[in-house]
Structure 1
């Protein structure tokens, strides 16, 4: 009973100490003339990876619970592979239960679904839930951490090393940077946008079922911007005595998604105020040009094939982020296709590019690829086609 009361008081203290006026801070310079107070920060546009604002973004610092962003990436990797399912039950070990700091008070032997564990991690920042998931996926937390570091290298996070899966450690060998946090945040929300359905939850009850009985526990989002900043949909906060106060906040407005990373802020108010200030800067200065590339493309001649040509398609849409107030009316698209190729052709092989120019300057491109395989023809193919052509001519 005493523990439940302490948790409730803690939640209420945090809730009432952060006013909407603070979270909805205007984009204004600090007394020192800077946009933000915190020493390390990055504002990134998610779809293009464009950095809009930065402040000492490559200095290695302790990430605290922002570590869990990589833990969530690995969880969703397993879900995508089909080796893990949302309805799978995860058993809490004694080691997972023993985690201190931020937790959801899982008991040893308690079972929760993967989906519930994800909520516990991203909403309430549960260290116990993070370790339980790490053990379930990799057999041990140490093996899971190895995978975290491998995944980080694959994302180009050159200034990051993890020692645990939740950020509770005080090891100096557990570090990252504002830039690297933005990189892994972008990977999580663009590859697995489902996470935003969970990270945007403000409050939700889960049910503990243990040998002691059944009881409800309320998850409360540690990211107060979810409720205090228009368009915020998560993502993750962190704080320890070493890391101080950190946040990677994601917000969406008018088709633009921004990632606002603040590291080593002196207190929780500055953490949220700085994140909001950068988001205001981004939404106030960014415009997105998007070409869905739905127009038809002419086929490419394919020598030594029966069909004689191959259909093409764009590899995807094109997006360009403008922060200078330029007019998109002057954007010009140039299609550059190969005149001919020789069979065989594989689906997905590059057939050309669509290049985009603004005031004569190239701003990007999208590959054009073949839609289907085109096999190389042989002697019998030519005979068969000749017979078919003759039959068609006779019937007409």
Structure 2
């Protein structure tokens, strides 16, 4: 039986969980679609046509990088692995690092080429290496989109080169970005935050990469994430910023020019930081509760979360929130670090965020003889 525990608290907040009404004074007047979310809880802070299906251009590569980092997480790939460029990968047009057929380069350099220079040839080379073929990789992309509950997304390639049946929406891009940051962590952001870098260093073929995301030098705290442009998609941008331990993600789609795109992203980010703040419920690695597994055995576990449990609140507003802990069935045996349940934050009956909880200690099933001994002992 699933066990639930409720905690009710009062905080200073106004929490928009689903779509937020567009501002009377629109901060993104030239964008076809836009969204601003808090990265951990996925709370929507600003919304404009965020569910409309549009062409993503190279912001597609967020999903390509998601599958790359999942392969690294699952020990199927490492940054030191050599990736060989196929004839098809070398033939890619658009943004590229001019890989040659048969050329081998480390995944680290391929990743930098994708994240910094938006290289189509590197994207295809990595995709083929992971899945065996680009068609199989696209299937993986669409499967992952379903798994992430991206309702308005469909992929036809790993690059974002135009295809009428290749689309997403601002909301789905924001969710992809949040997941990529979650699984990529510092390995991701240490690269996406670079304004420039090199591949093939210490060789005659050394190649200078310059980041397509100019906000790295225009807006304090920006450390990613991905730009995009095709004639059909217009100018697109997915940006993430961390200030005072608060990370937000902004998405703009179908802007008319890069300058306008950058200016409106800055305006949207300013809106987020000027109107919202982060409330921390539980700090990372603090004991949320001592959960009793077996009263007779006096068996308990210290339940913690590996990240701050927090949500973004509007300044100078009051509201109530509740937290609910749902534990897994049949927990025993438990090893330190095992996920044992989920903490859900709710505002006005709407989910504001969910967080995995883990045990900070081992816990094992009592043996028949230990139970018998305790029963016998209790009689005297």
Correspondence 1:322 to 2:313: yes
In the other structure, the counterpart of 2:8 is: none
Q: How does 1:23-62 map to 2 (within 5 A)?
A: 33-36=25-28, 37-62=30-55
Q: What CA distance in whole angstroms lies between the structure 1 residues aligned with 2:44 and 2:237?
A: 17
Cα 1:207–1:171 shift into 2, 3 Å: same
In the other structure, the counterpart of 1:17 is: none
Q: Which runs of 5+ in 2 are unaligned?
A: 1-21
Q: What CA distance in whole angstroms lies between the structure 2 residues aligned with 1:181 and 1:204?
A: 26
Q: What CA distance in whole angstroms lies between the structure 2 residues aligned with 1:219 and 1:250?
A: 20
Of 294, 298, 307 in structure 2, the residue corresponding to residue 308 of structure 1 is 298
Of 173, 177, 185 in structure 2, the residue corresponding to residue 185 of structure 1 is 177
In the other structure, the counterpart of 1:240 is: 230
Cα contact 1:66–1:167 (8 A) shared by 2: yes
Give the drift of 1:376.
4.3
Correspondence 1:266 to 2:256: yes
Cα 1:357–1:176 shift into 2, 3 Å: closer
Q: How does 1:214-225 map to 2 (within 5 A)?
A: 214-225=204-215
Cα 1:322–1:215 shift into 2, 3 Å: same
Give the drift of 1:369.
7.0
Cα contact 1:245–1:271 (8 A) shared by 2: yes
Per the normalisation by structure 2, the TM-score is 0.80
String of CA shifts for 1:122-159, please: whole Å, max 9, x gaps.
10000000001011111111111100010111111110
Cα contact 2:287–2:302 (8 A) shared by 1: no
Cα 1:332–1:279 shift into 2, 3 Å: closer
Taking only aligned residues, the RMSD between alpha carbons, in angstroms, comes to 3.6
Higher alpha-carbon deviation: 60-69 or 278-287: 278-287
Give the drift of 1:320.
2.3
Give the drift of 1:108.
1.1
Cα contact 2:59–2:236 (8 A) shared by 1: yes
In the other structure, the counterpart of 1:381 is: 370
String of CA shifts for 1:70-113, please: whole Å, max 9, x gaps.
00000000000111010011111111111000111111111110
Task: Compare relative contact order (CA 8 Å, sep 6+) and give the higher one, 1 or 2.
Answer: 2
Correspondence 1:88 to 2:91: no
Of 188, 193, 196 in structure 2, the residue corresponding to residue 203 of structure 1 is 196
> Whose helix proportion is higher, 1 or 2?
1
Cα contact 1:344–1:375 (8 A) shared by 2: no
Cα contact 1:344–1:374 (8 A) shared by 2: no
Of 251, 255, 267 in structure 1, the residue corresponding to residue 245 of structure 2 is 255
1:228 is paired with a residue of what secondary structure?
coil
Cα contact 2:277–2:313 (8 A) shared by 1: yes
Cα contact 2:342–2:354 (8 A) shared by 1: no
Give the drift of 1:162.
0.4
Of 106, 110, 113 in structure 2, the residue corresponding to residue 120 of structure 1 is 113
Q: How many positions carry a matched residue from both structures? A: 348
Larger radius of gyration: 1
Q: How does 1:10-21 map to 2 (within 5 A)?
A: none
Give the drift of 1:334.
8.5
Q: What CA distance in whole angstroms lies between the structure 2 residues aligned with 1:119 and 1:214?
A: 18
In the other structure, the counterpart of 2:14 is: none
In the other structure, the counterpart of 2:127 is: 134
In the other structure, the counterpart of 2:269 is: 279
Cα 1:62–1:98 shift into 2, 3 Å: same
Give the drift of 1:225.
0.2
Cα 1:357–1:95 shift into 2, 3 Å: closer
In the other structure, the counterpart of 2:5 is: none
Higher alpha-carbon deviation: 307-316 or 155-164: 307-316
